[in-house]
Chains A and B, each alone.
Chain A
Amino acid sequence: MNRYPLWKNATVLIALVLGLLYTLPNFFGEAPAVQVASVKATHKVDARLMSQVEVALKAAAVSPQGVVLDLTSIRVRLADTDTQLKAKDAIEKALNPVATDASYSVALNLVSDSPNWLSGIHALPMYLGLDLRGGVHFLLQVDMKGALTKRLDSIGADLRGLMRDKNIRHGGIVREGQAVAIRFRDAETRDKARAVLTDNQPDLQLVDAQEGADLRLVATLKPPAEKRIQEFAVKQNITTLHNRINELGVAEPVIQQQGIDRIVVQLPGVQDTAKAKDILGRTATLEVRMVDDEASANMDIMEQAARGQPPPGTEYYIERGGRGLLVKKQVVLTGERLTDAQAGFDSQTQEPAVHLSLDSSGARIFKDVTRENVGKRMAILLIEKGKGEVVTAPVIRTEIGGGRVQISGRMSTVEANDVALLLRAGSLAAPMEIIEERTVGPSLGADNIAKGFSSTMWGFIAISVFMASYYLLFGIVSVLALSANLLFLVALLSLLQATLTLPGIAAIALTLGMAIDANVLINERVREELRSGNSPQASITAGYERAWATILDSNITTLIAGVALLIFGSGPVRGFAVVHCLGILTSIFSSVVVSRALINLIYGHRRKLVAVSIGQVWKPGV
């Protein structure tokens, strides 16, 4: 007798029902939608915003097919792409009255057209990779050395302040490569300085050195501090990228750390790579430095500087107005100290201005510097890819305390907005470089889906026809088991929301092609048992049992290859490996358990089974 106990049949049934449920959303397709997300931490996405969106849509005479609120965004489902554009404009206008200072990102998106109860049980369609839906993929490398130099620069500034506070005389503090060197006249001051530094700067490692008559103290970062700074740099850059991409208005951006020093950015649906790259690649950082006014006023020095020979300790820049300027190399403040930047107007002159807010340490430094330099000029520089630009070089009129700084003068409203945006979008903690880029157009994506789908379909049909004609009923059962395998695989991919790529589709096809192996093994074994004269029922039992060990062995070797690909693969290979590994697991279940359940259902209950439909069993010698 070949019967499964109730629990086994129930398991198969439940697995099939679940498989069907989670595969279902893939059949509904997608509807155009508008997605609203918050760009600023102070603006929450909540029910109030949802009603605001609904009112805006009603005012524009757009009737949405559904408005859904989730944790981070509101999605408005619409009938077609025309109303989608109309709705986007209406919402944009209502939520962001000032276009240059947007609080919310309003983006075009697609949402699954499946009924709400399916979404309720987290049954979502498969998550398509960029090569299938179109979009841009970037891999960015963070310059760790740059992060450290930057940090050392600002440590240098801190040390200067510290020495002044503690009244320690020193002969200059300079960064030399990956170290900061402080000069002293005598050993006594150096000892005093060392004691102060050990107390105040636990991250620094101090080494004595001598250069000619000068005594020096060389400070380097301790390895754990270095590691922390590097980790922080990547985190900070990710946050900055988030802010910038939010301003782009991309529906579902992916920004993730990869490895120690890399960041992956994926922007589905974005076609304008140039703009995306421009915004991502803006490795602008802010620096505040003092202007060397005396030298800048000297025509001879300026002429020499313009030819590329600025006086030592200074750099030559051209101001926005076109005039040359000598700026001291010593950095007073960096963008790290900046907490906010807003465009606005000067309260007295009504000129366009940018209002900056500094953190407490930045505020203190700023206060000290402005007190000591009233009447002098201070330059605010944007550094992009090693090249600096003086945004503005205002004259310090009074001591500025409290961390509120206003930059004004010779700026239009638009310029003020630009500068504020660039500064607000955050400066990067370390420069980044694009080391990998992949762009796929939407038509190519749709094409890839169609090709992947049709190759799987035709392959499946060919296998089905062959199996059914070669093994008859057993063949049909094998095909059903293979269909169950496909069902489970798609359901698992949908449930896990693993990214499906074109190699992933190829893996589905390949896995199906390989999975039939198990059923061929079983059917051949059953035939063999029949050939040696066993009864049909016994042959079925023996066939399944004997084939099992072989099936397990062969699947494990395939799985080893899959896992190796999963561990070492990146990009397209990983997409392949994920599907391949999952497919092997589902195939073991479906080809052995599901097909056995079906065979048992067909033949199991017959007491006097004379023959089974497994095709002709040829016996030698007959």
Chain B
Amino acid sequence: MEFFRIRKDIPFMRHALVFNIISLITFIAAVFFLATRGLHFSVEFTGGTLMEVGYAQAPDLRQIRQQLESDGFADPQVQNFGSSRDVLIRVPLAKGAESSKVGEQVMASLMKVGAGVTAAAMTPQLKRVEFVGPQVGKELAEDGALALLLVIVGIVLYLAFRFEWRFAVSAIIANLHDVVIILGFFAFFQWEFSLPVLAAVLAVLGYSVNESVVVFDRVRETFKKKRGLTTPEVLDHAITSTISRTIITHGSTQMMVTSMLIFGGPALHYFALALTIGICFGIYSSVLVASPLVMWMGVSRAQFVQAKVEKQEAVV
């Protein structure tokens, strides 16, 4: 069995401009949504209290919300989590209140909701509490930004060392464009951006750089081996000969991620979702965005062969 029976190199580079325009449009859209809607940060970043409560019967969310509001919680969020019997409650940080006690207070007011109705069915069972103070959230955001910066600098340095600065710069631009697009999705759909999602974004950044690395490896090899090809032809050849591997690898990883989406439950949902977007755009960007960028930056055969010639001359 072989999926990819490609007779000739596919002329990807002829359409380079089209790909770059598509990228630019999605990128601008992502930035637009990030700017207008913003990310829906989880409690870990904003600070506040998050509680997961289980009921024997599906409770009335509106009633819970009203009870919480009448008990003095400003702007509580109440929603189902996973099933209709599990409820997720978010209470933002309140000034002055003794914030670490919020969990107990919320439970007390949840008990009041159940008191009127059949007691047993409406008794909430506490499954999880997360409380994050204001100072922690700020630090997490800073640490996240620092981690992103470290990844970028690390990858650029490594690629510049292994290949060439043009490769390094275009690979990182291509993959940052992925990151922005993932964030754009999270902003557009207002999905919750939590710490595991941040981890997924960074992991996928490291992972999709692989793609560019594999293609660039081929580019270097082709430049050295085959003479007389123009730069676009070399890039086309490199992409074509690695496309089968690219799609199979990403397909395999995506199988794992899909399995997480299906079986992982709500706790892993957004993590897997971020990975899915990252993987899909990773294929596209690291191949079809990074390569044209390399081309625009003027990569040529001379950059790979020259070094050798100079050495020989020096010896003679």
Query: Which residues of A come within 8 Å of B, CB atoms?
Result: 139, 141, 273-274, 277, 281, 433-441, 443-444, 447-448, 451-452, 454-456, 458-460, 462-463, 466-467, 469-470, 502-503, 506-507, 509-510, 512-514, 516-517, 520-521, 524, 527-528, 549-550, 553-554, 556-565, 567-573, 576-577, 580, 615-618, 620-621
The reply to whether A139 and B136 contact each other, CB–CB distance below 8 Å, is: yes
**A-side interface mostly:** helix
Which of B1, B130, B217 contacts A553 (CB under 8 A)?
B217
A565 and B202 contact, Cβ closer than 8 Å, known pairs A452-B264, A506-B196, A572-B195: yes
Q: Which residue of A lies closest to B159 (CB)?
A: A557
Closest to B265 in A: A451
| Across the A-B interface, the 8 shortest Cβ-Cβ residue pairs | A561-B206, A513-B256, A435-B133, A459-B259, A459-B256, A554-B210, A568-B147, A437-B131
Q: Which of B25-33, B72-80, B149-157, B305-313 contacts A (4 or more CB under 8 A)?
A: B149-157
Interfacial chain B residues near A447, Cβ < 8 Å: 265
Report the bound CA distance from A613 to B18 in whole Å: 41
B263 at the interface (CB under 8 A from A): yes
Query: Complex Cα distance A506/B147, Å?
Result: 20
Contact present for A618 and B2 (CB under 8 Å): yes
Question: Could you show 20 A-B contacts with beta carbons less than 8 Å apart?
Answer: A273-B129, A277-B101, A433-B100, A434-B133, A439-B130, A459-B260, A469-B1, A506-B196, A509-B256, A510-B256, A510-B275, A513-B256, A521-B249, A524-B245, A561-B151, A561-B205, A568-B144, A569-B147, A618-B5, A620-B6
A470 to B248 Cα, complex, angstroms: 10
Pick the interface stretch among B56-64, B111-119, B120-128: B120-128
Q: Which of B3, B263, B271 contacts A503 (CB 8 A)?
A: B271
Q: Per a CB cutoff under 8 Å, which of A433, A503, A528 touches B199?
A: A503
Within 8 Å CB of A470, what residues of B? Answer: 1, 3, 248
Closest to A277 in B: B100
How many Å from the CB of A162 to the closest CB on chain B? 39
Whether the pair A433, B260 counts as a contact (CB closer than 8 A) is no
In the bound complex, how far is the Cα of B45 from the Cα of A572, in angstroms? 13
Residue-wise, chain B 1-20 has the 8 Å CB interface mask toward A (1 for contact) of: 11101110000000000000
Interface string of B250-276 (1 = CB under 8 A from A): 011111111110111101100110010
Chain A residues near B254: list those with CB within 8 A: 513
Closest to A259 in B: B139
Cα–Cα, bound, A503→B275 (Å): 13
Q: Is the CB of B210 within 8 A of A567?
A: no
Q: A455-B260, A502-B268, A506-B264 are contacts. A567–B196 as well, Cβ < 8 Å?
A: no
CA distance in complex: A434, B135 (Å): 11
Contact B264 A463 (CB under 8 A): no
How many angstroms between the C-alpha atoms of A521 and B207 in the bound complex?
14
- Distance to closest chain A CB from B51 (angstroms): 9
Asked whether A274 and B104 contact (CB < 8 A) given A434-B131, A459-B256, the answer is yes
B198 in contact (CB, < 8 A): yes
B49 → A minimal CB distance (Å): 8
Residues of B within 8 A of A567 (CB): 147, 150
Q: Does B277 contact A (CB under 8 A)?
A: no
Q: Choose one: B52, B133, B202; the contact of A433 (CB below 8 Å).
A: B133
User: Min CB distance, A529 to chain B, in Å?
Assistant: 12
How far apart are the CA atoms of A563 and B158 in the complex, in Å?
Answer: 14
In the complex, chain B residues whose CB is within 8 Å of the CB of A521: 214, 245, 249
Q: Is B241 an interface residue (CB 8 A)?
A: yes
**Neighbour of A458 across the interface among B104, B154, B203, B263, CB < 8 A:** B263
Which of the residues A439, A514, A562, A570 comes within 8 Å of B126, measured between beta carbons?
A: A439
- Contact B263–A455 (Cβ < 8 Å): yes
